[in-house]
Structure 1
Amino acid sequence: MGSIREIKKKDGTTSFHAEVRMKGHVPCRGSFRTRTHAKKWIQDIESSIRDGRFFQTSEARKHTVGEMIDRFIDQWLPKFPQRQRKQTALLMWWKDQCGHLLLSDLSSAVLAECRDQLLLEITVRGKLRSPSTTNRYLSAIGKTLSVCKQEWGWIQTNPMENVAKPSEAPAKERFLSPDEKDRLLDACRESRNPNLLPLVGLALVTAMRFGELTGLSWRDVDFANRTITLHRTKNGETRVLPLTRRAEEIFKACSTYGSPHDELIFQSQRNQSQKKVTSVREAFRAATKRAGIEGVSFHTLRHSACSFLAMNGATLSELAEIMGHRTLQMVKRYSHFSQKHLRALMERAEGSLSNSKSLKEVL
């Protein structure tokens, strides 16, 4: 709500002090020579606040969306190398669409229009972009705006907070059955890519992500202390896993075993001289086709590994530690696999009470 005060100065002139107060925003004040200008200013400020276009500091009028994205890519993303490539690609789309705009002109309405455009675009696969993929684009710009607000002080409010994300279809959880696992491993043995079989085997044994596996160097595998140290994790935190007997056998069977400690374990076969990370997408796709397995990706191996752990008695907290999740929410999907373990636990508890007189009376 806006208000105007008329101020008489000592020299006889008059000025008009305007103030706008709206819930959730700090008061904004201005001084004008005429009441008309003061009223117009109040209307503009109230309108921009309601539309999510108001930024109190002058910084929002000094920087463009493109400058914000460039700074985020240069200064923030390097802290998370696992996300850097994908997040950069998402943010470059935003830079192409609205990088020329001043931050003061980036409103919730502009972001919502971009969201709708994302949903209508045809991807390289010839299909409409899915709501889940669209949400990744929205999350990328939302995080950038959040850092811009909280750490750089370029904006006072995040216009992304008022933009609704499209509803996603329920996630389809796909797990390999024991028979599918055996068929897949047999198909991987037939592959010409020497990295495919050890990568698939380790994913099924350790539940590591593809990026975590391909980012491993020999210094990360400690055969003496029997640990695997993951530095390139999704959340940017270092994670240490136990080196099991089967995992040790797989590592020692790799073609690069015995290389210097700073070399990657899984290297590209096409660019061996440049020591680039391997890519097995096409090889994995061909292996699943030979094995007659549909609807799976490399990430399915991670889900399958956790399902095997749960069926063998792993608790949710243990699964969270192995997978690198900070909360138990992400591992609740595996809880139904551990019902046999829980039933055995409850039956053991019942056995300790079987001689209780009070319990017999109840039964």
Structure 2
Amino acid sequence: MPILKRGKKYWVDISAPDGERIRRSTGTEDKAKAQEYHDKLKHELWQVARLGKIPDRNFEDIVVLALREAEGQSCFINKQIYARYWLSVFGDRLITKISGEEIADNLPSFSPAKRCKLSNATRNRYRSFIMRAFSLAVKSGWVTTVPHISTQREPKVRVRWIEKDQARSLISSLESEWMKRVVSFALLTGARKGEILSMKWESVNLSRRIAVVTADNAKSGKARPLPLNDEAVKMITSCNRDSDYVFSLNGEQANQISRGEFSRALNRAGITDFRFHDLRHTWASWHVQNGTPLMMLKEMGGWEKLEMVNKYAHLSTEHLSKFSGIVTFLAQSDVEESSKPALSVVNY
């Protein structure tokens, strides 16, 4: 039966020319309109199969593409939030009928859940999600172009890091051995908090001096190795093996650090405006200052794009120092000037 009723609305059940079975809601309770929808859909499927026409796709279809790609990423929950919002805006509309201007006009500016205004950075994440959905639609041959939506201006990237003597003071100011291990490991490897707390012993190979951040725990959704130096190996060796997790707490996986203890240690060490994630900034800053190439740092830190690492580039002056002596003028003394031979006058 090509048209059937489910609940209050009619659905279509069609076999496409290529054999694909399509079952979809018509979105209407009117049987005549449902029949019209059925006939139009069947005609479009014939055009796609026989004339090579690009198939019409609903917005729901490209949201599914974006969510499938994001599965397994640590930010998947956030992307589900973005998906629900955009579905509430565009529903099952045809993607060919959605313009960049319409998307820009519907970028959210307020969070009902948190009852606060959204920052431009958060609005850009909503933008990135729908842009990625359209990009995947282009790759699938469903549309030919991605709508243009300008990014929202964001404040300058904050890079907060501390010197090594401050880091030692911070660690010595922590109260528990567990927090000292976690903070030290963050400074030694640049691992994110979630990556540290979710690390299992099966991902650590001390003989090869490596720990692996698995794909399901990495922010990018891609696994990466963490090279372990002597101090990092010593740090891991001191951890208890009473759990599957390297940095377990009382035999269980820790879901969070002790924020109160971290804050008190910062006060004792005289460090202000510093967060746990700034330990990662500190690790990256130390690397750049010691000459680690930005491309290598990108791989070690698990950043997806090189521009994410460029915020540390100003901390390296090695590539500039060889040019620093080209322009001089204050070093020329009067003695040097007087030591030059005088011009002689020749009479002919």
TM-score greater than 0.5 by the shorter chain? yes
1:331, distance to aligned residue in structure 2 (A): 3.2
| More helix per residue | 1
Corresponding residue number in structure 2 for 1:279:
256
**1:244-300, CA deviations, whole angstroms, 9 ceiling, x for partnerless residues?**
121122222333x264xxx3334577x94xx5x622274576446644544333321
**1:83-125, CA deviations, whole angstroms, 9 ceiling, x for partnerless residues?**
323322332322333335343443223211112xx23x15766
Give the counterpart letter for 2:245 in structure 1: L
- Kindly tell me: are residues 110 and 235 of structure 1, through their superposed partners in 2, closer, same or farther at Cα, counting changes over 3 Å? same
Q: Distance in 1 between matches of 2:317 and 2:297?
A: 15
Corresponding residue number in structure 2 for 1:59:
56
**1:190-215, CA deviations, whole angstroms, 9 ceiling, x for partnerless residues?**
26xx7543222111111122333233
Q: Distance in 1 between matches of 2:205 and 2:322?
A: 36
Corresponding residue number in structure 2 for 1:90:
82
1:176, distance to aligned residue in structure 2 (A): 1.9
CA contact (8 A) 2:66 2:133 kept: yes
Secondary structure at the aligned position of 1:241 is classed as strand
Contiguous gaps of at least 5 residues in structure 1: 1-55, 348-363
Give the counterpart letter for 1:337 in structure 2: L
Corresponding residue number in structure 2 for 1:314:
292
Which of 224, 232, 235 does residue 247 from structure 1 map onto? 232
- Residues 17-166 of structure 1: matches in 2 within 5 Å? 57-60=54-57, 63=58, 65-73=59-67, 75-78=68-71, 80-115=72-107, 118-119=108-109, 121-122=110-111, 127-151=116-140, 153-159=141-147, 162-166=148-152
- Kindly tell me: are residues 344 and 182 of structure 1, through their superposed partners in 2, closer, same or farther at Cα, counting changes over 3 Å? farther
1:183, distance to aligned residue in structure 2 (A): 4.1
Secondary structure at the aligned position of 2:89 is classed as helix
Corresponding residue number in structure 2 for 1:216:
199
Between 1:306-315 and 1:216-225, the stretch displaced more is 306-315
- Kindly tell me: are residues 222 and 244 of structure 1, through their superposed partners in 2, closer, same or farther at Cα, counting changes over 3 Å? same
Secondary structure at the aligned position of 1:237 is classed as coil
Corresponding residue number in structure 2 for 1:51:
none
Corresponding residue number in structure 1 for 2:40:
none
Secondary structure at the aligned position of 1:298 is classed as coil
Corresponding residue number in structure 2 for 1:167:
153
- Kindly tell me: are residues 76 and 324 of structure 1, through their superposed partners in 2, closer, same or farther at Cα, counting changes over 3 Å? closer
The runs of 4+ residues in structure 1 deviating greater than 6 Å are 344-347
CA contact (8 A) 1:320 1:327 kept: yes
CA contact (8 A) 2:56 2:94 kept: no
- Kindly tell me: are residues 225 and 184 of structure 1, through their superposed partners in 2, closer, same or farther at Cα, counting changes over 3 Å? same
CA contact (8 A) 2:220 2:304 kept: no
Q: Distance in 2 between matches of 1:314 and 1:219?
A: 29
- Kindly tell me: are residues 158 and 338 of structure 1, through their superposed partners in 2, closer, same or farther at Cα, counting changes over 3 Å? closer
Give the counterpart letter for 2:70 in structure 1: L
Secondary structure at the aligned position of 2:156 is classed as coil
Q: Distance in 2 between matches of 1:142 and 1:268?
A: 41
Give the counterpart letter for 1:248 in structure 2: V
1:143, distance to aligned residue in structure 2 (A): 0.6
Corresponding residue number in structure 1 for 2:15:
none
CA contact (8 A) 2:187 2:282 kept: yes
Which of 146, 163, 176 does residue 162 from structure 2 map onto? 176
CA contact (8 A) 2:175 2:261 kept: no
Secondary structure at the aligned position of 1:216 is classed as coil
Q: TM-score, normalised by structure 1?
A: 0.62
Corresponding residue number in structure 1 for 2:245:
264
- Quote the RMSD (CA, aligned, Å): 3.4
CA contact (8 A) 2:62 2:136 kept: no
Give the counterpart letter for 1:69 in structure 2: V
1:134, distance to aligned residue in structure 2 (A): 1.0
1:135, distance to aligned residue in structure 2 (A): 0.7
Give the counterpart letter for 2:132 in structure 1: K
> Over alpha carbons, which structure has the higher Rg?
2
1:305 aligns with 2:299: no
